[in-house]
Amino acid sequence: MSEPVQNPDELSTLLPMQALLQKRRVASFLASILSLTFCLLVFGGSSTSPAISPGRLSSAHSAMKDDCAQCHTAAEGGFSNWVSHAFDSKTSLADSQRCLKCHPEISTHALSPHGMCPQDLFQLTANAQQKTKLSLSDSDKQSFLQTLAEMTAHKNQDRSLTCSTCHREHHGQKTDLTDLTNQQCQSCHARQFESFAHGHPEFTDFPHERRSRIYFDHAKHLMQYFADEKFAHLLPAGTSATSCTACHQQDSSGRFMVTGGFQQMCANCHTSEITDKVYPGIAFFALPNFSQTESSKVDSVQSEILIGEWPATDGTNNLHALPPFMEMLLADDKLFQHAKQTLGDDAPRRLNYASQKHPAAVEQYLWSIKQLIDEIAQDGEAALERRLGPSYSAVAHMKPSIVESVISMQRVWFPNLMSEVSTQRHGKPPAQSLQVNSLETYRGISAAEHTSGGGWYLSKTDFSIRYRPQGHADRLIKSWIELQARTVPNTDLKPTGIRKQALAKMFQILESPTGSGTVATRGPVSSGRCLKCHTADDPTRNGQLKINWLAFRPTDDNKTLHKFTHAPHLKSRKSETCSSCHILDRNFTSVGTFYRPEFFLRDSENRWAINTNPASAHASGFSRITKANCVNCHNESAVRQSCLTCHNYHSCQSGSN
Amino acid sequence: MNKQAKRQFFDFGIFLLLCAAVILLNAIWSSRLSHTPVLNGWVLLAMILSLAAYQVRKQIQTLPFLSLGSLSTWFRIHKYTGLLSCLVFGLHINFRIPNGTFECLLAGLYLGVFFSGVAGLLLTRLIPPRLASTGAKVLFERIPQQVQQLGEEVENIVFENMPRSESTIIPEIYANQLRSFFRKPRSILLHLLQSGRPPQLLLVQLRGQQRALSANEQAVMQEITNRVTIKNDLDYQFTLQGMLRVWLFVHVPLTYALLVFSIFHAVLAGAFTGGN
């Protein structure tokens, strides 16, 4: 008899082995249940568990620690929320918006490629493709890896790019979130190349992808003016004629070389050019040429033209058309406009002759002007505001005001104007036409009104009120230029056509770089010539101008696609100077080339006018900087040559400094 | 080179090519703006699922209208995919120890599955030749029955000869040593280490008693000794054949746990990398 087995464990070992498979299934089931339980415990909460950690944050973000929801929208809910986010392609965009909460400095189009407006990027791409149409040379051939990489090129060009496309977190405290390889940078680019030294396109117009804000001809100044001893005493104090740092100093970042202001840099030579005391200045108000005597010679009916007092303008160099400012003031005077229509635009010069055929029109023409003078003399700026209408009321308050000069005009040339206008209002003609001896009366006015170095004055030569800039940054001239700059042709507040045209004529005068571009007179009259140096940009080509009153100043808004920091280059190689890279183009300046096409163009009447396209390339008198300048140092064997050495990804504007 | 060697050479060549392809693909992803860990993570998950499918294939013999391929082909694919997955896993975790508890557990599960699989592979290579060298063909499932039968035979021999015995030596040896020896497999570890020591010790001990036994008792003892030798051979078979089965107790349950962890990890990664 065999003894029965006592120990159950021993019994189990003797059971058929079919039980093994069953046991394994039980073990597998238990393992699955245990794993599932653990995962549900970890993932089951309403927020992320501390048991989950994809990696340490970089030092820049280390303060966030365990607050995942600061960056991840998925972290705001539990597991079901995670599942929905895991299959939602917009999650990364929502996450990027969280990045931008803390990084508002990135531009409006932060999630567009390069942070640029898609249209701008499209244009930039088109330009770049145009420039780089040349085929690759043998030395520019791509590496095998790059060729393969192109096959998996990023197909996301037309869509938004999320922050995490380039910035990868959770790789440790020492991770540099902005560090990208050249291949990564080139992922989106159609043309790819091996390195800066091999394959990078040649510079086309670097660093002047746009013209400078202030026009300055370096070649002319350095080769002609500064080299001439007679100008030596005019250079800024302590300045060497050949030293670049006399005018250009590093900014606080060391990146840019910025210039000083007008007073420091330019005033010694150019102040007199602005005030132009030898020239008469701009006519804002003028009396037409009308002589009772001359009129009577050609007109037997001269007695019918009853205009009362009128100065002896006969024989003076009066204008052939009324100044634009007067046209603006008389725009709503229907009787005047009717008379003007009858007499023609050049009426001020031919009233004597016109009086034969159109005596009534001549009389009305002159009376309207006298009424205008009277009104301004009586009501001052209120009269100007009334006459200019709501759209141009700002003109009435421009300083210094013209009102005092108009009052002077009335006192000198129309001493009895008030009584004449009063009589005329009561339906009675003036007692008689009188020829005022203007010269005598003129002498009665204080010297300051006609001999000052700048500002308003009465001109006895052409019976006008003229204005000469009082110096650099003259308030009145600047206000007039800004008024036109802000006036967008198609969106203005419906001003009358006459005023709008008059304003345009005024701008034609003020924009003239030669100081001779009045509508009426060819010849130097001096406008201050502001826009000879200060450029006016119309990048959108809609007629609205941005006047560059200041030279380039480094600000956050100046972040462009490329960067160059002067400081390390000036420090690293003592033997090199500015001229190592900035080589004067000796062919740049020659007779007739001062008015560079990137700044000035001929208008329809063959007069010089400003070019409002800022995208015009301009080397400012220097030869174009080539890639060879940089490759000497930035190559495989010397200084680093990664994309990020010279390029910014995030751009706030497409232009350059 | 025989046919099997050629096939192994071919398989290994394909495996090396796939390794190169994985490394190259990872290099390309890394050189681009791709989310490399996400992409190679998906590859790894796909590999884990395909590896787990081998277990399903073993349960399914045939499917209508679809050829599943031979089980040996599946095993070859399973073997090389498993080895390749280790490379993808290394690239996925960037050859670093993960930070979080969950991620560490997940990595530990993967490594557990991988190394148990490698161990299983080695066992299937090493044990069959050792079993074949014994010359015996024993079904693993029948070993317990055979051992039980041997135990019963020894017990019968002892009890049947007890009345004729001149001494109590044999019953005492049976009660003290042989009874427990025949109840369950013995000396598993020593058998695993291919040690010949366990049978020798017992047999030497039994033979040492021969001088104190009568002629009749010596004949009985010889019968018992023969059965001890057979039991010892069965233990050896049980140990080695058991090892061929026991490693799956680690490999398969860990695979299920790995699948659960991986799915949660994939959801987590998808949600926190922005649905990519």
**434-493 in A: which are within 8 Å (CB) of B?**
none
**Mind listing the pLDDT tens digit for each residue in A202-225?**
887 777 677 888 888 888 888 888
Q: In B, which residues are within 8 Å of A52 by CB distance? A: 100-103, 268
Probe site for chain B from A3, A13, A52, A174 (most B CB atoms < 10 A): A52
Secondary structure in 3-state letters for B171-217: HHHHHHHHHHHHHCCCCHHHHHCCCCHHHHHHHHHHHHCHHHCCHHH
| Separation between Cα atoms, residue A639 and residue A569, nearest integer Å | 11
**Secondary structure class of A559 (helix, strand, coil):** coil
Q: Closest residue of B to A86, CA-based?
A: B271
Q: How many CB atoms lie within 10 A of CB A172?
A: 13
Does residue A311 have a cis bond before it (omega within 30 degrees)? Answer: no
Q: Using an 8 Å Cβ cutoff, are B208 and B80 in contact?
A: no
**Interchain CB distance below 8 Å, A187 and B33:** yes
pTM of the model: 0.66
Winning range, highest mean pLDDT, from A134-143, A632-641, B73-82, B208-217: B73-82
Name which of B253, B47, B226, B257 is nearest A26 in CA terms: B253
Residue with tokens 């060298």: B133
Q: Closest residue of A to B33, CA-based?
A: A184
**Interchain CB distance below 8 Å, B32 and A187:** yes
Q: Which amino acid belongs to residue A129?
A: Q
Kind and range of the H or E run holding B16 = helix B3-31
**Secondary structure class of A584 (helix, strand, coil):** strand
The tokens for A150 are 């192109």
In the prediction, which pLDDT does B86 show? 97
Name the residue ranges covered by the structural domains of chain A: 68-102, 282-467
Q: Which residues pair with A310 in a beta bridge?
A: A435
User: Using CB atoms, which residue from A85, A153, A181 is nearest to B271?
Assistant: A85
State the first-to-last Cα distance of chain B, in angstroms, to the nearest integer: 49
Cβ neighbourhood burial of B196 (10 Å; 0-12, 13-18, 19+): exposed
**Interchain CB distance below 8 Å, B148 and A14:** yes
**Mind listing the pLDDT tens digit for each residue in B69-124?**
888 899 999 999 999 999 999 999 999 999 889 999 999 999 999 999 999 999 98
Cβ neighbourhood burial of A130 (10 Å; 0-12, 13-18, 19+): exposed
A17-45 burial, b if ≥16 CB within 10 A, otherwise e? beebeeebeebbeebbeebbebbeebbee
* Better-predicted residue by pLDDT, A608 or B180: B180
Residue with tokens 């941005």: A546
Q: In B, which residues are within 8 Å of A10 by CB distance? A: 183-184
A520-543 burial, b if ≥16 CB within 10 A, otherwise e? bbeebbbbbbbbbbbbbbbbeeee
Q: Using an 8 Å Cβ cutoff, are A101 and A110 in contact?
A: no
Å between A72 CA and nearest CA of chain B? 6
Lowest mean pLDDT among A45-49, B223-227, B258-262: A45-49
| Separation between Cα atoms, residue A529 and residue A472, nearest integer Å | 10
What average pLDDT score do residues A400-408 get? 92
Question: Which band of pLDDT confidence, cut at 50, 70 and 90, is reported for residue B144?
Answer: confident
**Interchain CB distance below 8 Å, B102 and A83:** no
**Interchain CB distance below 8 Å, A53 and B99:** yes
Å between B273 CA and nearest CA of chain A? 7
Å between A495 CA and nearest CA of chain B? 54
**Interchain CB distance below 8 Å, B183 and A30:** no
User: Using CB atoms, which residue from A17, A51, A181 is nearest to B100?
Assistant: A51
Does residue A207 have a cis bond before it (omega within 30 degrees)? Answer: yes
| Separation between Cα atoms, residue B209 and residue B169, nearest integer Å | 8
**Interchain CB distance below 8 Å, A154 and B32:** yes
**125-164 in A: which are within 8 Å (CB) of B?**
145, 148-149, 152-154, 162, 164
Flag whether pLDDT at A355 surpasses 50.
yes
Whether B151 has its CB under 8 Å from any CB of chain A: the answer is yes
Question: How big is chain A, counted in residues?
Answer: 657
Question: Which band of pLDDT confidence, cut at 50, 70 and 90, is reported for residue A11?
Answer: very low
**Mind listing the pLDDT tens digit for each residue in B152-199?**
999 999 888 888 777 888 888 888 888 888 888 888 888 887 776 766
Residue with tokens 């390029």: A647
HSE-up of residue B1 (Cα within 13 Å, Cβ side): 7
**Mind listing the pLDDT tens digit for each residue in A275-293?**
777 777 888 998 888 876 6
Q: Using an 8 Å Cβ cutoff, are B45 and B262 in contact?
A: yes
| Separation between Cα atoms, residue A239 and residue A235, nearest integer Å | 6
A with B: how many residue pairs have Cβ under 8 Å apart? 166
Q: In B, which residues are within 8 Å of A184 by CB distance? A: 31-33
What average pLDDT score do residues B210-234 get? 87
**42-71 in B: which are within 8 Å (CB) of A?**
none
ipTM of the complex: 0.86
CA distance to A197, A422, A607, per residue, from A273 (Å):
48, 45, 20
| Separation between Cα atoms, residue A441 and residue A311, nearest integer Å | 10
